[in-house]
Every structure is written in structure tokens, then in C-alpha cells.
Structure 1
């Protein structure tokens, strides 16, 4: 299994931010195959993650659930496990994953995919893809499509890059046909946009993370937004399935972790207490306990250099193909 910060390094063209949102030692893996213009990823995690960032310009990302335990959230909506999600890769919407996840997702050029749909006589769907950022699609064959894509990725990963190169354009055409079948066989297609609850919690999060040297209480943030504390808590529960304080604390702990990892990579000295204070953690013993509960290690262990050398080597050898 691989740490999140190392896994992201094998995603060419992506700038992805993954935050661990549920406590415990995270087991995470990511594998990739590149087929011309198409990237296929398989991601496994046993903790809830908050995913945000962007893929390469002009890309469209389609996700296929292989297996999951718990609820995923996108734009304030609970994600139906039978849904294939299609989102704008250049401006990826935030998604909160289930507590256990096995997912295949595919990045492809949006305009090329829309043009292929038009060539097949699906101008309406092509225009839909060009016009909207996030789309949900329901159809009866979600599991079959997931198996096809995950099977292709497993086979090429086991066979190695030489086998993949021998497949050539036929593999790219095969995957493109799967994606076109997914879109054209959907029994229902809907645009996904932020709920009113999600818009409210995003305003609250900006206020609570704007100046972490003085993190306002949920009560004060609710008053600033002109709503009750109870209503703000309800917005969080209905948008991400977590209480406000728990969600914000997890975000801030992840920001500390990112800063410690950056200091480790740059081999520069860092004072843990100073970094913690920048993100609103003033009681250092309590912070260390919260950090250990969330990541199953102390801040000093995150900062210790050299501990991920074997992970880096393994990622280069097994996770990037093509």
C-alpha cells in the first residue's frame, strides 16, 4: 500500500489534493495505465477522503464504482452507488469518498468524446457534455462497465508495459467504446450542481479557515451567516455527513500534515508547534493526540526524513505504466 503524498506523484497532468477525513492508519493504493489520450486509474482506500484539485486542461473524468462501504458526497448530494459520475477534469468538484472505496476512473478529452457522440448521432448528449461540468448517469450495466475497466487495468499492470505497447491503439479504442456505451445506454442523465446546503457550508469553511490563528466557533460563524447554529450543523450533516467541528478539524489537521511532508521533502528544519499554531492548534499535547488519532502516527514521525524511500521505489516500479 502507498501513502497518499507519494501516490499523487504518478498522476501526470494532475494537481490533486487528497485529505484523510476519517481517523486511523490509512491503507491506500493507486495504479494507472495510459492509453494514448486516455488515462485509467484504480484507487483503493479504507478511510474517507476529501478529493479536490484538477486534471489536465480539456479533460473529462468518468468514475465507476467497483466496491464501497459508506456514503460518498458530491456537491452536497449523496452519491448513488449505481451512478456513473462524469465531471469536468479542469475544475474537479470536491468529492467526499465513502469510508471504504474501490474505484476506477477514466480521464479523456472532453471535445473528442463529444465529437465521437455526434458522429454516432447523439448530438443531444454531445451538447450536454460540452455544456455542463458535473453529470450523473444511471444505467443497468454499471457493474459490468466497472468490471471491464478494472479487468483491463489489472491485466495490463500484471503483463507490464511491453504488453501494453503491443496492444496499442486497439486498447484505446476498446476503452473509448466502453465510455461511449456508458453514455449512450444511460436510462437517466442529470446535471449535478451544488445544493443550497453545500453553498452554505462552503461559506462557513472559508470563514473558519480564513484566519487559522483565530478559528471562530461554529456559533459565531452561523451568526455571521445569519442562520442558527443548529441550521449550520444540519447543512454540514446533509452535505458531507459530518458535523461542522469534526469536518473543519480534519481539514486543519491535514493542512498541518501537508506542511510537515513538504518540510521533510525539502529537508529543511521545521518546528512542529509553529506549524500547528498556524492552523489554529495552540494546545500542543491535545494537538498531538488529535493528530495521532487521525493519522495513526505522531507529527514527529511524519516529519522524520527518509521513511518513505521504499514507498517511492515501489510506486515507480508498479503504478505507472506506459
Structure 2
């Protein structure tokens, strides 16, 4: 089993740090990004503990052949997963090759375990019964803070051991015990899982945000206004405002601007200075006033566009 600990200063880089996950992270609140990742990967097993200090919109597809469950570790979560509100501690579940969307709070610290789908279903059935298997397919299952505290204490031993003696974790007997203990601790959360019903109202809000994102990407060269979106989606401004507040806890203007700013940032980071000028990259995403663009860019990422590392 391979153990790895990483610290990253860009949300996009963090999104590519976990093998098997096809995903993209977009930073949506201003300030320098800090992300940490501890992961353990072995045959038919994946575990990672991820922390971020800014609100992040995560989208992608879960790994092939694996069923994944995750939970906030150090603080209750107030965000959105699969169109459902997560307000407190909850298990978040994904089947294999399942598309997902996660909108995190400003500070997020969570753990995820992935196992072969058949094994996960069997273990959940044995541990908590067939009803728990059906509950996991609903994606969001509230759990108690007390059960998460048990998980947190159990994992703390391994985090401390990894920092003090990383070589000791690679011993075969230790790695197998680590895998079994982590899976047992995570499945233990199901004992406190409450019956969850789908929040159709929140799902509607989440769908509005997704449709807005699609419109922005389809018309990258022309910034859409809130009024444009209201007309296209045939909804009132208040509904649009509520949708973005409930799903991502930011205004529509802030969120849509963050999509375009993140796209420019990735253009800059993936091209050389001689290949693409900053002004041209900004123009591709509808930023025509360079001084305003530079100010908004610095507010979101904590640096000027000229300070963003470019491809050599």
C-alpha cells in the first residue's frame, strides 16, 4: 500500500492528486488557497483525508469499479452534495463511475473510503442491514456527531503515526490492519444514520445553478448578466439569488465571475507567456477591462495574473 501526504496551493492541482477520480475543483471565494491531502492506495482500496480553506465547487466522476463513502471529519458541513443540502455531519455516498457535484463550506476537512462496489455493498449489508444499502443509494445520510468523534479519534492514531514514523505504515501487517480499521470505523457511522428523504426544494435550487453554469460555459466569450439568466431559465431574480445562496452560499454574480476567473487561471497555468498573453486569456472569457479583471483576479486568488506560474 502506498501512503502519501501532500500540500497544494491551487484547487485545480488538488483535484488531480487522487488517482482514479476524474474531477475538477474551482475555488469560488477569495483568498490564497491551501489544501492538504493524506492518502493511502492499495489494490481494491482507497482512502484519503482532504482539507481546504476556501469554498470549492467540485465536479467529476467517481472511480471505476469502486463505491465511495465520505464524511466531514472535524466540523459539521454546511454545503451541497448531489443536489441535496448537507447541514451537519453526514455520510456522502457515490456508486462507481457516478457523476457528482459537491459545494464545500469555507473550511472543509473530510475523509473518503472507496472499495469495490460488490464488497462495499456486502460489508454494509452485513454491518448495518439491507436497509442501509438502500439508504446509501440516496447519497446523503445524516449521522451523529458522536459517531464522527469515534471515527476522528480512531484515525488520529494513524495520522500521528504517519507523521512520526512514515516508514512504519508500509509494513504489510500494519497496512492490512489500517485498511480493516478504517473500513470498520467508516461503516460504524451507519449505526447512527438517520432515515433521509430527498430535499426536492434544494434539488431544484441545485438544478438552477447547474443550468446557469452550462449557459456560462456555452457563451464563454460574452458574460451573462443575472437578468440574462432569469430570461433563459424563466425564473425570477429572487429565485436565482436563493438558488446560489442555498447551494454555494455566494451571490449569482460572485459565483458566475468565479467560474470565468478560474477558467482564465487554468488557461494561464497551462500555457507559456509567449504562447498566450494575459489580456488574450482574459478576453477569451469575456474580461475586456484589464484593470478590473486584474483586481477581481487578485481578490479571488490572492495574486495578480502576472504572478500566476506559467508553463515553461
Fold-level similarity (TM above 0.5):
yes
8 Å Cα contact 2:269-2:309 kept in structure 1: yes
**Cα distance in structure 2, aligned partners of 1:124 and 1:107:** 20
Q: Which moved more, 1:273-282 or 1:297-306?
A: 297-306
Cα gap change, 1:254 to 1:69, in 2 (>3 Å):
farther
3-state SS of paired residue (1:63): strand
Match of residue 137, structure 1, among 135, 138, 142: 142
| TM-score normalized with structure 1 length | 0.83
Residues 11-31 of structure 1: per-residue CA shift (max 9 Å, x gap): 111222111111011122112
3-state SS of paired residue (2:46): strand
Q: Does 1:248 align with 2:253?
A: no
3-state SS of paired residue (1:168): helix
Match of residue 260, structure 1, among 249, 253, 268: 268
Match of residue 301, structure 1, among 299, 304, 307: 307
Cα gap change, 1:71 to 1:116, in 2 (>3 Å):
closer
How far off its partner does 1:120 sit?
5.1
Cα gap change, 1:142 to 1:70, in 2 (>3 Å):
closer
Residues 189-214 of structure 1: per-residue CA shift (max 9 Å, x gap): 32656611111222222223311111
Q: Which moved more, 1:279-288 or 1:197-206?
A: 197-206
8 Å Cα contact 1:87-1:135 kept in structure 2: no
Residue number in structure 2 paired with 1:98 = 105
How far off its partner does 1:48 sit?
1.1
After TM superposition, what 4+ stretches of structure 1 lie above 4 angstroms from structure 2? 191-194
Residue number in structure 2 paired with 1:168 = 175
Matches within 5 A, 1:24-173: 24-68=31-75, 71-88=78-95, 90-119=97-126, 122-129=129-136, 132=137, 134-139=139-144, 140-166=146-172, 167-173=174-180
Q: How many residues align?
A: 301
**RMSD across aligned C-alpha pairs, in angstroms?**
2.6
How far off its partner does 1:119 sit?
4.3
8 Å Cα contact 1:25-1:295 kept in structure 2: yes
Unaligned runs of at least 5 residues, structure 1: 307-322
Residues 154-183 of structure 1: per-residue CA shift (max 9 Å, x gap): 423542245323313222222222233222
Cα gap change, 1:74 to 1:163, in 2 (>3 Å):
closer
8 Å Cα contact 2:81-2:92 kept in structure 1: no
3-state SS of paired residue (1:263): coil
Q: Which moved more, 1:147-156 or 1:8-17?
A: 147-156
3-state SS of paired residue (1:171): helix
**Cα distance in structure 2, aligned partners of 1:89 and 1:158:** 35
